[in-house]
Chain A
Amino acid sequence: MKKKVVLFFVFAFGILTLLPSQSLSQKTIKVGIVDTYTGPPTTFTFDVRDGFDLAVREINKAGGVMGRTIEYTTRDEKFKPDVGLAMAKELLMKEKVDILMGTINSATALAISDLAKKEKVPFFVTFAKSEKITGEQGHRYVFGISENTEMAGRAAAFALSKMPYTKYWIAGDDYEYGHSIANAVWRHLTKLNPKVTKIGETWWKVGEADFTPYITQILAAKPDFIIVATGGAAMVNFQRAAKATGLAEKIPFYQHTAIEHSVLMPQGLDAPEGVYGTCNYFFYYPDTKENRAFVDQFRKAYNRYPKIGALYGYVTAKLIAEGFKKAKSFDIEKFIDAVEGMVIDSPVGKLELRKCDHQLALPMYFGRTKKVGGWEFLIATDIQTIPSKDYMPSCEEILRLRRK
């Protein structure tokens, strides 16, 4: 593995020295994207890149930002924090990018965030879910686009607290993401509905493929409801095992992003019905003029439906363009002052980038999976919109966290 990395750098360095530096013109706004473009996370990250690309094309076609076009370069961090950090440094020093963006890997995002703080370069975190990014370790130069585990947990707890279930079981991936999501849901659920009790927990290793034995164990314990804290391929695996064992018919369960179509589409019509989930975006909801236009453009450009990542990429480009316009300057400090608290239009309505923690306030949708005629895969129905004020931690809470 090490050899591969070394070879890659030798190769990358060779190419970089051969190419003429493109930042000579200085008539562009350069964005450097570091993200995982190899392995399972590409399901999400290609959409971020393409959503960003779509917005950039739109902006440049309309004359750019005060006469300057936006230009971007991407680097593949291969889900390795050390590689990701090295690439961010390379983008800053060699490519002289004005703004950094990425990644789906929380560890890489935190490492680059630290670099951004030192170098005073704005860094837009598009997909990483660690609550530390804009919480405890937040600072002037880091911005959060996607929701984090704390926010997802609060949103789920908000919706679940209105349901009649009391005997809960918690199951999930035995690593940071699984535990953070589960803890956040449970902490807030017990606050909102004191009647709930936890009758047991199950944790499996990351990358577990066969969930049948775990499900037999949960079925034997007979809970009313299960909180399943998994991510990635395990989402699909758990749903398939839940269908095959009949768990999905017997005990309702919740998975964050279970209703997102990167999870539902690969399963076709074989996915279980009635699974609860939360998610920021669907290409079919909200059924507004803005969203339809976005979906049409995206399909025209890439020949597929946009997934959640496409929204993240798209709004990031909008924030960058609108920020410079509002600042009426290309000065980075003025840009940051301008984007703080700024409101932009998006496919899901008007969105505010909160001033206190630099976190984008997206609405969260809670729904359950269902077969609906005309679709080749399950979609989310009974969608409730949870407004950002109901699930985002308050500014006081964030400030208290940062002072600690």
Chain B
Amino acid sequence: MDIYAILSQILVGLSRTVILFIVSSGLSLILGVLRIPNVAHGSLYMIGAYAAYSICRYLGGDSGFWLAIFGAPLFVALISFIAERSLFQFLYEREHLMLLLLTFGISLIFGDLVKMVWGGEYKTVPIPKVLQGYVTLFKNLNLPLYNAFLLLVGPVVAVLLWLFVNKTKMGKIARASAVDREMVGACGINVSWVFGLTFVVGCFLAGLGGALVAPTISVTLGMDHSLIMESFLIVIIGGLGNIWGALLGALIFGLTQSLGILIWPKFGIVLPYAAVVLVLLFKPKGLLKSTW
């Protein structure tokens, strides 16, 4: 096996990891603080991609794309804010099963709404001019510039998220609420709003993932299904509610996937799932400390 092929495959795998990490970290945040297994997270990712399409379409050109990267997640955040205030906030005290059913229902509704608003045809979001083309690495193997851009975005998002969770007052309160909601409430903090904002931040990340992935794929109905599955697996192997766990999980998932394709093409798509099984055999609670 060609060492250069492996190296470039690792880079491609890492760029896929970035998307998985961004989406799963949002899922993990919501799971860790609010204890909601948010099945609708995938639908929000899909809405992020469609919103990015609409923004690019109406603004046109490269500026459309850069605005879409921020605009689409904000739109998703707005939707999630409405959902949280009108539905979720009344159910926090209920069982997980109730929340699971609610989010499942919402994901079905979102799926239908997307179809009504954007229709059944494939949509594509153009890659901005500066990021078109590829860089040739190691002999003749190419890395698309857009994937290289994703490799830069990933660490930035990870650091910002870490700062938010660990260094801001809001993050500290959110972490405290995850551990002991009543005590935080007794300190005079409005926990309901803390939960609401955390939910919105998590959903913002789903929208961001969707907007970032849109230029590399065709935006289509059903793109939420496979992603939500992968995200849950990532969050589970990383440790529920642990942001760094989400990063680790995404790395394992993304890299086994891309290296599997190169090394063992016939069974490449099975490898990430085999890795999940392996992790859970030895560490049933996930690799890093779970907040549950």
Question: Is the A/B pair a real complex?
Answer: yes
User: Residues of A with Cβ closer than 8 Å to B?
Assistant: 38-43, 46, 174, 200-205, 207, 209-210, 212-214, 216-217, 219-220, 233, 236-237, 240-241, 244-247, 262, 266-268, 270
Contact of A39 among B12, B136, B221, B266 (CB under 8 A): B221
Docked Cα-Cα span, A39 to B222, in Å, equals 8
Docked Cα-Cα span, A236 to B141, in Å, equals 22
Chain A residues positioned under 8 Å from B145 (CB to CB): 244
Chain B residues positioned under 8 Å from A210 (CB to CB): 16, 213, 216-217
Contact A266 B218 (CB under 8 A): yes
Known: A216-B141, A244-B216. A43 touches B121 (CB 8 A): yes
Docked Cα-Cα span, A204 to B265, in Å, equals 9
Chain B residues positioned under 8 Å from A207 (CB to CB): 222, 225-226
In this assembly, does B276 line the interface, its C-beta being within 8 Å of a C-beta of chain A? no
In this assembly, does B5 line the interface, its C-beta being within 8 Å of a C-beta of chain A? yes
Contact A38 B2 (CB under 8 A): no
Docked Cα-Cα span, A247 to B144, in Å, equals 10
Docked Cα-Cα span, A41 to B144, in Å, equals 30
Contact B266 A203 (CB under 8 A): yes
Contact A244 B144 (CB under 8 A): yes
Contact B12 A216 (CB under 8 A): yes
Contact B122 A40 (CB under 8 A): yes
User: Residues of B with Cβ closer than 8 Å to A?
Assistant: 2, 4-5, 8-9, 12-13, 15-16, 115, 119-124, 126-127, 132-134, 136, 140-147, 213, 216-218, 220-223, 225-226, 257-258, 261-262, 265-266, 269
User: How far, in Å, is A26 (CB) from chain B's closest CB?
Assistant: 36
Docked Cα-Cα span, A152 to B37, in Å, equals 46
Contact of B216 among A202, A241, A262 (CB under 8 A): A241
Chain A residues positioned under 8 Å from B220 (CB to CB): 40, 233
Contact of A270 among B4, B124, B213, B217 (CB under 8 A): B124
Docked Cα-Cα span, A246 to B218, in Å, equals 18
Chain A residues positioned under 8 Å from B217 (CB to CB): 209-210, 237, 240
A-B contact pairs, 11 of them (CB 8 A): A207-B222, A212-B12, A213-B9, A213-B261, A214-B261, A217-B262, A217-B265, A219-B141, A237-B218, A244-B132, A266-B218
Contact B16 A42 (CB under 8 A): no
Q: 8 closest A-B pairs (Cβ-Cβ)?
A: A42-B120, A220-B5, A244-B144, A236-B218, A213-B258, A209-B217, A233-B220, A246-B142
Chain A residues positioned under 8 Å from B225 (CB to CB): 207
Docked Cα-Cα span, A39 to B127, in Å, equals 25
User: How far, in Å, is A263 (CB) from chain B's closest CB?
Assistant: 8
Docked Cα-Cα span, A246 to B141, in Å, equals 9
Chain B residues positioned under 8 Å from A41 (CB to CB): 120
Chain A residues positioned under 8 Å from B119 (CB to CB): 42
Contact A233 B216 (CB under 8 A): no
Chain B residues positioned under 8 Å from A38 (CB to CB): 115, 120
Contact B120 A217 (CB under 8 A): no
Contact B16 A213 (CB under 8 A): yes
Contact B226 A240 (CB under 8 A): no
User: How far, in Å, is A6 (CB) from chain B's closest CB?
Assistant: 15
User: How far, in Å, is B210 (CB) from chain A's closest CB?
Assistant: 11
Chain B residues positioned under 8 Å from A216 (CB to CB): 5, 8-9, 12, 141-142, 258, 262
Chain A residues positioned under 8 Å from B257 (CB to CB): 213
Contact B16 A219 (CB under 8 A): no
Contact B126 A266 (CB under 8 A): no
Contact B124 A267 (CB under 8 A): yes
Pick the most buried of A41, A216, A245: most chain B CB atoms within 10 A of its CB. Answer: A216
Docked Cα-Cα span, A216 to B260, in Å, equals 12
User: How far, in Å, is B149 (CB) from chain A's closest CB?
Assistant: 11
Docked Cα-Cα span, A393 to B124, in Å, equals 37
Contact A202 B261 (CB under 8 A): yes
Docked Cα-Cα span, A39 to B147, in Å, equals 29
Contact of B9 among A40, A217, A268 (CB under 8 A): A217
Contact of B261 among A46, A217, A244, A247 (CB under 8 A): A217
Pick the most buried of A41, A174, A219: most chain B CB atoms within 10 A of its CB. Answer: A219
Contact of B134 among A39, A40, A244 (CB under 8 A): A244
User: How far, in Å, is B107 (CB) from chain A's closest CB?
Assistant: 12
Contact of B141 among A209, A220, A262, A267 (CB under 8 A): A220
Pick the most buried of A42, A212, A246: most chain B CB atoms within 10 A of its CB. Answer: A212
Contact A246 B261 (CB under 8 A): no
Pick the most buried of B115, B124, B132, B141: most chain A CB atoms within 10 A of its CB. Answer: B124
Chain B residues positioned under 8 Å from A203 (CB to CB): 265-266
Docked Cα-Cα span, A219 to B136, in Å, equals 12
Chain B residues positioned under 8 Å from A266 (CB to CB): 121-124, 218
Docked Cα-Cα span, A361 to B266, in Å, equals 37
List 9 additional contacts besides A43-B121, A217-B261, A233-B220; criterion CB under 8 Å. Answer: A38-B120, A40-B221, A210-B213, A210-B217, A216-B141, A237-B217, A240-B217, A240-B218, A244-B134
Docked Cα-Cα span, A308 to B12, in Å, equals 36
Pick the most buried of A38, A210, A237, A262: most chain B CB atoms within 10 A of its CB. Answer: A210
Q: Across the interface, name the chain B residue whose C-beta is closest to A37.
A: B120
Contact A213 B262 (CB under 8 A): yes
Chain B residues positioned under 8 Å from A209 (CB to CB): 213, 216-218, 223, 226
Pick the most buried of A41, A233, A247: most chain B CB atoms within 10 A of its CB. Answer: A233
Docked Cα-Cα span, A316 to B147, in Å, equals 46
User: How far, in Å, is B279 (CB) from chain A's closest CB?
Assistant: 21
Docked Cα-Cα span, A117 to B80, in Å, equals 51
Docked Cα-Cα span, A46 to B223, in Å, equals 21
User: How far, in Å, is A207 (CB) from chain B's closest CB?
Assistant: 6
